[in-house]
Amino acid sequence: MALTSTLYHFVIDLSHVDRGAYTSLDLRVARHPSETERSLCARVLAYCLYFQDGIAFSKEGIASKDEPALSVRNATTSANGYDLWIDVGTPSAERIHKASKASRHVVIVTHHEPRLLQDTARARSEFTDSKTSKRSRSPPRFSRP
């Protein structure tokens, strides 16, 4: 028998002074059986840090290969366009490349060692250099929220 997801309930009073975001969030977030608690917390924190109208968790959760963990869809373009693509963890170079083509802004929130993400970024640079397509719009930047 397959393991099922565990549903967590978060009640958050969000106060982001710099952006003028003041709201109460009542989130119900499913934790995939293979997902760690650190990853779940990172997803919820990313939701709060980048909160804006239209932000949503992916429908398939972390098991989705084609969707970001969190996103804001672009209402003015095609159904596959994103204004914001947020991945949690350490995505592959190919996934970062795909995200940079599908979205105006890409954010990666990691709960792992930041060095792993920097290694992935270097691999991504090599990956995009080997392709004939354009490089992404901006080089990767690493900062802590």
List Cα–Cα distances, 19 to 24, 49, 95, 109, in angstroms.
Answer: 15, 10, 29, 19
pLDDT of 117 strictly over 50: yes
Q: Is residue 10 part of a domain?
A: no
Find the distance separating the first CA and the last CA of the chain, reported in whole Å.
40
pLDDT of residue 135: 46
CATH at residue 106: 3.10.640.10
- Give the tokens for residue 141: 């930047």
Q: Is residue 118 part of a domain?
A: yes
- Does the pTM of the predicted model rise above 0.85? no
Mean pLDDT of 45-68: 86
Dump pLDDT digits (tens) for 69-93.
Answer: 999 988 776 556 899 999 998 888 8
Half-sphere exposure (Cβ direction) of 114: Cα atoms closer than 13 Å: 6
Domain count across the chain:
1
The chain-wide mean pLDDT, for the chain, equals 81
Dump pLDDT digits (tens) for 3-13.
Answer: 888 999 999 99
Q: Is residue 139 part of a domain?
A: no
Q: Is residue 92 part of a domain?
A: yes
pLDDT of residue 33: 87
DSSP state letter for 136: P
What is the span of the domain harbouring residue 48?
Answer: 36-130
- CA 45 – CA 102 distance, rounded (Å): 23
pLDDT of residue 131: 52
